[in-house]
Amino acid sequence: MTAPVPFPCEEDSVQVHFVDKQIRLDGRPVMVLAGEIHYFRLDRADWSDRLDLLVAAGADTVASYIPWVVHELPDGTLDLTGRTRPELDLGAFVDLAAAKGLAFLARPGPFTMAELRHEGVPGRVAVEHPEIRPVGWDGAPAPTSTLDYLAPAFLAETRSWYAAVGAVLAPRMAGVGGPVTLVQLDNEIGMLAWVSNTPDLTEHLLADLHTWLEDRYGPDGLVLRYPGAPLVLTDDPVGWASLVRSPQLQSSGALRHDLSTFLRGRFARYVDALAGFATESGFGGVPFLINVHGTEAGGAASFPIGIAQLLETWRGRADRTAGSDHYVGTLTWASAAELYLVHAFLDATLDAGQPLTSLEFEVGTGDYGGDEGAFTDPTSVVLKTRLLLSQGTRLFNAYLFAGGENFLDERVDDRGTHRFGITGQRHGSAAPVDPDGRPGPAYASTREALQVARAHERWAATWQPEFDDVTVGFVPDHYATEYTYRGNAVMPELTDDLRHARGGGPGSVLARALLGAGIRYCAVDLGGAGALGGVVVLGSPSVLGAALQRRLVEHVTAGGGLLLVGSLPTRDDDGASCTIFADALGLRAGETLTGADLPFASLVGAGWAAHRPEVRVGRMQVLDVPAGEVLLRDAMSGRPVAAHVRLGAGQAVVIAADVALPPEFLGEIIGRLGGRPGLRIERDTPGVLATTTRTPDGDRFLHVMTVTGLTSTVSFTLDGRPLFDGDTVELAPRTGLILPVDVGMAGRRVAATAEIVSLDGDVLTLRAAGPGRAVWIDGCRRDLGGPGDQAVALTG
């Protein structure tokens, strides 16, 4: 196992950069393996023990929020030096971490969430500046502690907070030889408004919105789009506020789209301001991180809402990247497929140099209530680590690594408690290390996950996924559903339609079927620039913007393949009729029938899909197919619901139904559309995921895992050649392997059906976890012994 980089470094400074989707320290690609420990929730005497447990688990970095609400005292002064409480000495914690060889990932807010009072912002900020506290639909007060991010008073307060943090962090930055290598700006930006369905409609924001709409549509276009809107805001600010907060029927569709688009740019301006404050306060000069929120209800399908909200905060900014924040509990086949898809979406929005990261990587038991009401299978953290490693993730922050306590405060907050945390005295009972400092049930699995990443760091710091010529389309505007006005039927109808079929298709069927078929897919932001190639797969609501409809038509006409599952697009982003795509393919949409209309509905195959068995369906859209080949029909009426159409040099398949899509059927469709997967998997159980990665030096790895409780026997063909002499690989239930396929070591080329534990000079240690494990050195096979670690000399 590679030892972590010691801090402070012997050199005067360390340069940290994002290059080619890598994190580089002084030009050396590294993995960042972090764990979150809240120094402010621990007695200072306990810091050392918790940090030792983090080092023992295999981490090289400690992360922590730096909560404004904790460090601001009742008299309004700030204590970051421990003058009033020893545990508030931020510098001492960072220095102790450095002495133990740990870097520091700083998370100074101003919003920190973390189950803190007012989400980490002192309550007096909103009291002293009431204009920054938003109202939402119909002028109702925001039910959360959200604030107007760009309100001048809030920015001024935040600037002062950052200056205080900078006084501690500036002499400890990597650029001057210190341990602070990364800084996260704010946390889960926009999340409070989303979860409460309450856009931050302050008077300041409404004025900003009016200016943006004027610039976008022109004064006359603004009035046409929003009847009754004042040409000049000062003429009728009250009327404008009423129009936005209680949108009229005829403008609701436009407002849904405009408000989300406007706020993307506004969030970017906010983060730019924070980056400026950090730099002027002395804790710039290292890359900045943006934590993206969005998982809910044990699944990841909603996560792209956060991506869509925040993507402009990192785009075009080489000093930043985005990280996921996900909580899905026990990893199942369904949640694994969703998690893989949404990280592909996140990666699709990153620039060429920006690495994929996970800033709140869920570890622990899942027993957040401390009452044993939930328990996450401990294998899940290892499986999720393997999943994200296969996608090129460079940073993992195990959250929350160690629990603690919320100390008593002199102030009674508006919830009637003296504690600064909203969870009572104890916090983090589900963490791998409990509030009393005892390693719990999740410690061993967290350590195993970090050690898997560490054992592969020399390759994982640079490898990238290999992809087949199949791309899943990401449409940010399909996730513009974070705010829905329910005072009329327009917005709810649009957002319900979008939620139903976006992303991974109805019920995330595409996400599961693609992985089950062994297709190594990437994602593309369809709203971005550049030509589309190969086969594009899209979960399709009836809403798709006119520009994107044209783009898909151009893709197919030029020779590309296209698979749409959900509905035939017939409306633009405002909900108005738009049939550019349907007209080009010669398709027309008929009625949409749901479960109430179809109590016993099912579909039967037709055309080249006639061999498909009958399948139940809960929703379908009838299609008129005057040209092209019908693929699926309503079993009772015979009406078409899926078609294969040729257009120009390409072809498209449209499936307008919530239909079960077995992996073999999806694979057949992809093949018909011109896709040729390079990795073939032979398996005897479902729930097996496999993909490959390659380093810039040409080293290749096979990633394989099973998330079921079944033992799986698997064999592989890659690029038309059986791997490992055709040997099968046995996977124990809920396990995974990273197998070298063709890796250069000590001047030799190595492959193995066992996983690398370490490479020390010319001695390779492999872990033989099942029968029939072998290693090939320059093509010569050596069988490994029984289970356990096996040392193999590569030379001599």
- Averaged pLDDT for residues 516-542: 93
In which band, very low, low, confident or very high, does the pLDDT at 246 lie, cut at 50, 70 and 90? very high
* The pLDDT of residue 33 is above 80: yes
Over 70: is that where the pLDDT of 7 sits?
A: no
**DSSP SS3 for 347:** helix
Q: Give me the mean pLDDT over the 373-385 stretch.
A: 95
Q: Which of 477, 321, 301 is nearest to 392 (CA)?
A: 321
In one-letter notation, the amino acid at residue 314 is W
Cα→Cα distances 285→8, 155, 174, Å: 17, 21, 8
Domain positions in the chain: 16-199+265-456, 470-672, 679-793
Which pLDDT score is estimated for 11? 52
pLDDT of 704 over the 50 cut? yes
DSSP string for residues in 582-622:
HHHHT-EEEEEE-TTT-TT-EEEE-GGGTTSPPEEEEEEEE
Identify whether the C-beta of residue 283 lies closer than 8 Å to the C-beta of residue 106.
yes
Specify the CATH number of the domain 470-672: 3.40.50.880
Distance CA(204)–CA(13), nearest Å, equals 43
Q: Give this prediction's pTM.
A: 0.97
Which residues does 724 contact at the CB level (< 8 Å), separation at least 6? 715, 716, 739, 751, 753, 774, 776
Determine the topology of domain 16-199+265-456 in CATH. TIM Barrel (3.20.20)
Residue 531 has pLDDT above 90, yes or no: no
pLDDT one-digit tens code per residue, 467-502? 999 999 999 999 999 999 999 999 999 999 999 999
What Å distances lie between residue 174 and 107, 264, 654, CA to CA?
15, 31, 53
- CA 783 – CA 768 distance, rounded (Å): 10
Nearest to 308 by CA among 361, 256, 353: 256
Average predicted confidence (pLDDT) for the chain: 95
Please report, rounded to a whole number, the percentage of residues in the chain having pLDDT higher than 90: 91
CA-based diameter of the chain, in Å? 87
Q: In the predicted model, what is the mean pLDDT of residues 349-374? A: 93
Instruction: Give tens-digit pLDDT for 152-200.
Output: 999 999 999 999 999 999 999 999 999 999 999 999 999 999 999 999 9
pLDDT in tens, 425-457: 999 999 999 999 999 999 999 999 999 999 999
CATH topology identical between 16-199+265-456 and 470-672: no
Residue 30 pairs in a beta bridge with: 23
Among candidate residues 226, 214, 308, 206, the one with its CA nearest the CA of residue 265: 308
Report the pLDDT value the prediction gives residue 353, as an integer from 0 to 100. 97
What pLDDT score does 385 carry? 98
pLDDT on residue 418? 83
**Chain segment 109-151, per-residue pLDDT in tens:** 999 999 999 999 999 999 999 999 999 999 999 999 999 999 9
Name the more confident of 585 and 410: 585
* Interval 56-113: pLDDT, tens: 999 999 999 999 999 999 999 999 999 999 999 999 999 999 999 999 999 999 999 9
Q: What is the pLDDT of residue 236?
A: 97
Alpha-carbon dihedral angle through residues 72, 76, 81, 86, given to the nearest 10 degrees? -60
